[in-house]
């Protein structure tokens, strides 16, 4: 059998072709950035394009993170700080917009065109106005440095090169390799871009009169919060998923050095405003909000949609924007979500078979009644990351065109001893009465003034959360184990 080497005659001539394309694009797209003082490759995305993209993506991002936080006083407060910092930037003649997202996750974002976001989870963790201003200043720095334009322009050129590779070489694996290389430009910010945003953030903080070291103290609080969550979840040493670290990898030490340098140049940059900030966020919702549903131990309750269920014993639940997730020390997991029925004429069993699980061979499929609702269940084998697992599927017909769904998974290497517990959990699903729904309340940040003789342990005992009260008290207030408190000092606890 004759083997043809397709790569040799075509791949070598391609290299100078791609280099020429990149060189021409780079030369025509470089510009001098007034914020960084550097020439950067941004020409394939104009400032007008950035404004358009920001406007288009803004409602999508807001929806993905639970909507805007429904408190105009908080929104106005964050806007006022954002505008103060923005006024010190090289883009102070370009309108910026600032928003608080109704999410408990500690995070912040920037969209092209001057759209800046912080979550209420971030506000709850911050301990003074300077720390909040530091986060906003860093996000503003990403916009003034035009980091999105840099990533877009580079990615477009890389994708152009990838297209040429695929066309000339005619090889899908090579084209995929090009996509992998190109993805490096769009997976979050580069280290250089993070460094630039830190430097710009420190500059803007100092100009606005804030203490630039606030950026590092907030990073310390974030690290402590992340470590405590991992400890509670039994995931010590794992990555910082879905928080500010995952998209903004930085080190507090580096920011301290930059902040100290900034202070040398601006001795008046010392404002922290702790008491003002704490009084502003007094009453801020902490954790899940009522419109997102809330986890209480093994129970999940949703007062807006008016239902609740209880997970099997020893399951730990986590509420996310798309589903309620649960895991067990044995490796068993659960997922609870909702879905619209495309064909309303289908009965509940047929919905499961045709619309939800068309590629799964269902076993023991049967119809049920769960607390007055039509339901269906079945078992089957599913593949999760290449490993087979036993699954129990349950569908509950909430409305004619809407269902709630349970997916319970037990590793195939484990005996199916959890299946009865899975069924019991599904049968716990029920509709809440009006009075039950109205009796459910938020957890909130409560600001207290320390009384003479009070200590941290006593104040932490008033936290209306399950377990780790003293540790949460320290994390929320930016304390460590050795930090002392004194009379008349303001502190945060979690209450109703």
What is the full DSSP assignment across 125-146? H--SHHHHHHHHHHHHHHHHTT
- Residue 330's pLDDT is 86
**Distance (Å, rounded) from C-alpha 232 to C-alpha 376?**
35
**Distance (Å, rounded) from C-alpha 131 to C-alpha 178?**
41
Q: Which range is least confidently modeled, 235-249, 394-408, 460-474?
A: 235-249
Q: Which range is least confidently modeled, 136-140, 222-226, 241-245, 288-292?
A: 241-245
Mean pLDDT of 224-246: 67
| Total residue length of the chain | 496
* Residue 172 pLDDT level (bands cut at 50, 70, 90): very low
pLDDT tens-digit series, residues 109-137? 888 889 999 999 999 999 999 999 999 99
pLDDT tens-digit series, residues 261-294? 667 666 666 889 999 999 999 999 999 888 889 8
CB neighbour burial string for 204-227, b if at least 16 within 10 angstroms, e if fewer: bbbbbbbbbbbbbbbbebbebbbe
- Start-end of H helices in 248-378: 252-265, 274-281, 348-350
pLDDT above 60: residue 185? no
Q: Which helix (H) or strand (E) holds 439?
A: helix 434-439
- Residue 190's pLDDT is 74
* Residue 12 pLDDT level (bands cut at 50, 70, 90): very low
pTM above threshold 0.85: no
- Residue 150's pLDDT is 61
Mean pLDDT of 392-415: 90
Task: Please give the span between the terminal C-alpha atoms of the chain, in angstroms, as a whole number.
Answer: 77
pLDDT tens-digit series, residues 73-92? 999 999 999 999 999 998 89
């Amino acid at each position: 059998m004759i083997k043809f080497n397709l790569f040799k005659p075509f791949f070598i001539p391609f290299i100078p072709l791609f280099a020429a394309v990149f060189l021409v694009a780079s030369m025509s797209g470089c510009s001098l950035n007034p914020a960084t003082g550097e020439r950067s490759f941004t020409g394939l995305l104009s400032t007008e394009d950035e404004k358009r993209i920001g406007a288009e993506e803004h409602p999508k991002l807001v929806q993905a993170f639970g909507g805007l936080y429904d408190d105009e006083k908080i929104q106005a407060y964050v806007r006022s700080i954002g505008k103060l910092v923005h006024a010190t930037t090289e883009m102070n003649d370009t309108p910026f917009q600032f928003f608080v997202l109704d999410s408990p996750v500690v995070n912040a974002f920037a969209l092209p065109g001057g759209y800046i976001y912080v979550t209420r989870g971030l506000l709850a963790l911050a301990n003074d106005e300077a720390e909040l201003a530091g986060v906003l200043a860093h996000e503003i720095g990403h916009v003034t440095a035009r980091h999105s334009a840099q990533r877009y322009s580079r990615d477009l050129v890389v994708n152009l090169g990838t297209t040429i590779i695929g066309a000339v070489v005619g090889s899908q694996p090579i084209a995929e390799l090009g996509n992998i290389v190109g993805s490096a430009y769009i997976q979050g910010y580069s280290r250089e871009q993070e460094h630039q945003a830190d430097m710009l953030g420190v500059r803007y903080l100092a100009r606005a009169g804030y203490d630039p070291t606030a950026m590092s103290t907030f990073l310390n609080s974030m690290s402590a919060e992340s470590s405590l969550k991992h400890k509670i979840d039994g995931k010590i040493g794992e990555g910082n998923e879905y928080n500010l670290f995952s998209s903004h990898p930085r080190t507090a030490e580096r920011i301290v050095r930059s902040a100290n340098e900034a202070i040398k140049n601006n001795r008046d940059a010392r404002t922290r405003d702790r008491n003002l900030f704490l009084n502003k966020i007094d009453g801020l919702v902490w954790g899940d909000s009522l419109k997102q549903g809330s986890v209480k131990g093994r129970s999940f309750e949703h007062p807006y949609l008016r239902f609740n269920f209880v997970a099997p014993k020893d399951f730990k639940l986590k509420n996310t924007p798309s589903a309620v997730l649960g895991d067990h020390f044995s490796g068993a997991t659960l997922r609870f979500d909702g879905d619209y029925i495309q064909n309303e004429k289908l009965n509940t069993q047929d919905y499961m078979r045709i619309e939800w699980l068309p590629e799964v061979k269902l076993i023991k499929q049967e119809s049920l009644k769960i607390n007055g609702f039509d339901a269906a269940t079945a078992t089957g084998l599913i593949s999760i990351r290449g490993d087979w697992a036993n699954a129990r599927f349950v569908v509950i017909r909430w409305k004619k065109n809407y269902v709630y769904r349970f997916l319970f998974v037990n590793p195939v290497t484990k005996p199916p001893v959890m299946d009865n517990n899975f069924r019991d959990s599904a049968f716990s699903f029920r509709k809440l009465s009006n009075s039950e729904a109205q009796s459910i309340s938020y957890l909130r940040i409560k600001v207290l003034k320390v009384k003479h003789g009070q200590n941290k342990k006593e104040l932490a005992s008033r936290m209306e959360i399950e377990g780790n009260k003293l540790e949460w008290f320290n994390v929320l207030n930016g304390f460590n184990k050795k930090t002392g408190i004194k009379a008349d000092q303001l502190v945060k606890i979690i209450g109703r």
